Amino acid sequence: MTLTAEPPILSDEEFWRLQQTDGSVRGYELEEGRLVPMAPIHDPQSSSWGKLFLRLGLYLEQHPVGRVWLDFATYLDRCHRYFPDIVYLANEDMYRYDGEKIVGVPTMVCEVASKESRERDRQEKMRAYYGAGVAWYWLLDLVDGRMEEYRWEESGYQLVSRVVASRTLSG
């Protein structure tokens, strides 16, 4: 007889307490049931986050089809709690916002990949977002200067567009 242990579940309070750090890390994400420290953000990643967030926010002011957040708690499921760089909920998905965090699948996630985060953003996080059913995944890769847009399909994320990130966006 084989027993399979479920990963321990952190309560909301325990998870939030972990976000209070000494500054050596920005906080923690929960991935496959394990805690992953998030490195502090530096430029050009910080500027790129801000510029893209601003553009999305301005668009949504003119076309109120949803809401966008920066570095916002997103609980995909019991084993995956992330703080995507930018996360968007369409109006029809707004019920997933509980007033403090997103609980469930967001409409779109954007990660701004630096040298330090690139591998995880392209592999573990992309797999987790796909597995949860996130319809759109954007990856602004500061290493190669490209913005990639992926759409969820049954066979996997399909690359919809890849463009050179303008200097205005990437730093």
153 occurs within a structural domain: yes
User: How many folded domains does the chain comprise?
Assistant: 1
The pTM of the full predicted model, rounded to 2 decimals, is 0.83
17 occurs within a structural domain: no
Residue tagged 């906080």 (tokens): 27
Task: Provide the pLDDT for residue 158.
Answer: 98
108 occurs within a structural domain: yes
Question: Distance between alpha carbon 168 and the CA centroid of its chain, in Å?
Answer: 21
- For residue range 108-156, list pLDDT tens digits in order: 999 999 888 899 999 999 999 999 999 999 999 999 999 999 999 999 9
2 occurs within a structural domain: no
CA–CA gap between residue 75 and residue 133 (Å, rounded): 13
137 occurs within a structural domain: yes
27 occurs within a structural domain: no
Task: Provide the pLDDT for residue 28.
Answer: 76
User: Which structural domain, as residue segments, surrounds residue 140?
Assistant: 42-170
- For residue range 40-55, list pLDDT tens digits in order: 777 777 788 889 999 9
User: Which residues does residue 157 pair with via DSSP β-bridges, in sequence order?
Assistant: 152
Q: Report whether 45 contacts 142 (CB < 8 A).
A: yes
71 occurs within a structural domain: yes
**Domain of residue 82, CATH code:** 3.90.1570.10
Least confident window among 14-18, 74-78, 85-89, 90-94:
14-18
Q: What is the DSSP string of 78-125?
A: TTEEE--SEEEEEGGGGGGB-SSSEES--SEEEEEE-TTTHHHHHTHH
115 occurs within a structural domain: yes
